[in-house]
Amino acid sequence: MIMTPRVRKATLTVHVVCSVGLLGAVAAFLVLATVGLEIRDPQLARAPYVAMGMIAWSIILPAAIAALITGLVQSLGTRWGLLRHRWVLMKLLVTVFATIILMIKMALINQVAEFAEQRAIDIADLRMERVELALHAGAGLLVLLIPMVLSVFKPWGMTRYGLRKKQGSRASGSRSIADLF
């Protein structure tokens, strides 16, 4: 079922807010991870990691899940469909991949944040884990730019499935539930 213009605009707005918010939160996370690696004062070094834990749980993870869900709703409720266009399918795959990696990395984020809550962080404490957080945040930021670029440029045209559905709906003149995909 194609959404009404009002519902489509509302869900698109929520999707864009979640996606842009996610991008901004990951950028803030990256800044904190980088700052945390550079701070020499063990007591001061605690703050970025405690903040990273809060940002990850309160903004990044909810925004990633919300962006995924609202993206699915948008694709299923608009003419773009979920499987009709290569760029939509690629956005879905990248978003699912990024969300799964985020969920896996939440354990590491928790580990470092809990360590920082309990004691001061010496420059050698959890060094590899802290570097890993910074690297993953940087890579995550780059990965999140992919769906945004795809949304703007909409490359690669339709999938074979999309072409078949387009030809089929022209021939029948009616729309069915299969047209959503």
For the chain, where are the E strands, in sequence order?
none
Handedness of CA 139, 145, 147, 150 (dihedral sign): negative
pLDDT of residue 2: 83
**Residue indicated by tokens 């709703």:** 73
pLDDT of residue 180: 58
**End-to-end alpha-carbon separation of the chain, Å?**
10
pLDDT of residue 167: 86
pLDDT of residue 174: 55
Neighbours of 112 (CB within 10 A): 23
pLDDT of residue 166: 83
Burial class (CB in 10 A: 0-12, 13-18, 19+), 116: buried
| Structural domain that includes position 19 | 5-167+174-180
Residues 6+ apart with CB under 8 A from 26: 60, 137, 140, 141, 144
Question: Tens digit of pLDDT per residue, the chain (181 long)?
Answer: 689 999 999 999 999 999 999 999 999 999 999 999 999 999 999 999 999 999 999 999 999 999 999 999 999 998 888 899 999 999 999 999 999 999 999 999 999 999 999 999 988 899 999 999 999 999 999 999 999 999 999 999 999 988 988 887 666 655 555 555 5
Domain count, the chain: 1
**Residue indicated by tokens 């903040």:** 51
Q: Give the pair of three-digit tokens for residue 132.
A: 């890993």
